[in-house]
Amino acid sequence: MRQFGLAFNRYFEKWMFLIIPGSLILGFLFADSLQPMVGAVPYLFAYVTLTMAIGCGIAQLKEVLRKPGVMVWTFALAHVVSPLIAYGIGSALFGPSSPYVVGLVMFTIIPLGVSTVLWVGMSGGSVPLVLAMVVLDSALSPLVVPAGLHLFFNSSVEIDPVPLITDLLIIIVLPTVAGVMLNQWSSGRIQERVKPVSAPISKLCFVAVVSLNASAIAPHVEQLKRDMLKLVPLVVVLVAICYAVGFLGTALRRDRELQVTVSYSTGMRNISLGIVLALGYFSPLTAVPVVLSILVQQPLATVHHFVLQKLNKGKPSETATPHVR
């Protein structure tokens, strides 16, 4: 059983560049059947977070919190540099008042995606750091998102913090606390003991999350058809730039682990919140680039993982900070 679980985990990571896009396609093909199960997404994500968090001890989290500069820099790259790029590119193509530009900027302002934790863990980044950033960024989002949109477009957007905080507790906070406590209780040995079972299940949960989110988006795909040829290339370029912003923004540190962590953090956003804001507060046209960005970020995360592995093959990290796979 142990060998099967570890082998499954290795094969999943090896073929992830096909599995994740395939999961998206399956989500669209079986949307009607999957949509009733979309409510399970926070709990599936919670298990993924727990699997990552059991490799993190209190000492590692304390070390992260002692260096707030990295988190501030990441948030600046994600929510200042990236929105400026999105606004500039979108305005040049569609004009500054276009609802498409609002959607492009919105994608860069919404908080870091929870699935960032899984990608960082699989790519050799710092799980304690990304967990801390996802929690903090999500907690600040009721202030950051309306302020960012108002700054760019003079729009007033009110976000009900209660559902956001509830999802945050379920998806990140509670499983992280549970995982760290289990790590402490086992003196750091629990991750290796349960990995043959927990790691494959977490990968399957992640596949389910991707498919279920695709099924949730499926009803809105009809409105994308008219503008696909214009927007798809632009969105692909923008999301790729977001990954590059984090990678290049930490290049001078010459720290492989940090580059992996920050580049995924700047490239991925909170899927659920993006859909709710775009469809709930703006015109359907605003939702088009947001939905497209959501569809693109997972396949590009797979490409980014492949590129990172090629760039870092045989290169030892120059940092002494431990990371969790």
Please determine, for residue 104, whether its predicted confidence score (pLDDT) is greater than 90. Answer: yes
pLDDT band per the 50, 70, 90 thresholds, residue 239: very high
Predicted local distance difference test score (pLDDT) of residue 319: 39
Distance CA 257, CA 50 (A): 21
Please determine, for residue 28, whether its predicted confidence score (pLDDT) is greater than 80. Answer: yes
Burial 131-153, CB ≥16 within 10 A → b, else e? bbbbbbbbbebbebbbebbeebb
Predicted local distance difference test score (pLDDT) of residue 157: 59
Distance CA 267, CA 130 (A): 13
Distance CA 319, CA 113 (A): 25
Predicted local distance difference test score (pLDDT) of residue 37: 93
pLDDT band per the 50, 70, 90 thresholds, residue 322: very low
Predicted local distance difference test score (pLDDT) of residue 161: 64
pLDDT single digits (tens) 192-238 = 889 899 989 988 998 898 888 888 878 777 666 767 778 889 999 99
Predicted local distance difference test score (pLDDT) of residue 61: 77
Q: What is the maximal distance between C-alpha atoms in the chain? A: 58
pLDDT single digits (tens) 36-50 = 998 888 888 889 888
Cα distances from 120 to residues 116, 124, 270, in angstroms, run 6, 6, 15
Please determine, for residue 278, whether its predicted confidence score (pLDDT) is greater than 90. Answer: no
Section 86-98 average pLDDT: 90
Residue-range domains of the chain with CATH? 2-310 (1.20.1530.20)
Q: What percent of the chain has pLDDT over 90?
A: 26
| DSSP class per residue in 77-103 | IIIIIHHHHHHHHHHHHH-TT-HHHHH
Q: Which residue has the higher pLDDT, 120 or 24?
A: 120
Cα distances from 231 to residues 70, 130, 153, in angstroms, run 33, 30, 20
- Model pTM? 0.77
pLDDT band per the 50, 70, 90 thresholds, residue 60: confident
Please determine, for residue 177, whether its predicted confidence score (pLDDT) is greater than 80. Answer: yes
pLDDT single digits (tens) 147-165 = 888 888 876 556 666 776 7
Q: Which amino acid is at 188?
A: G
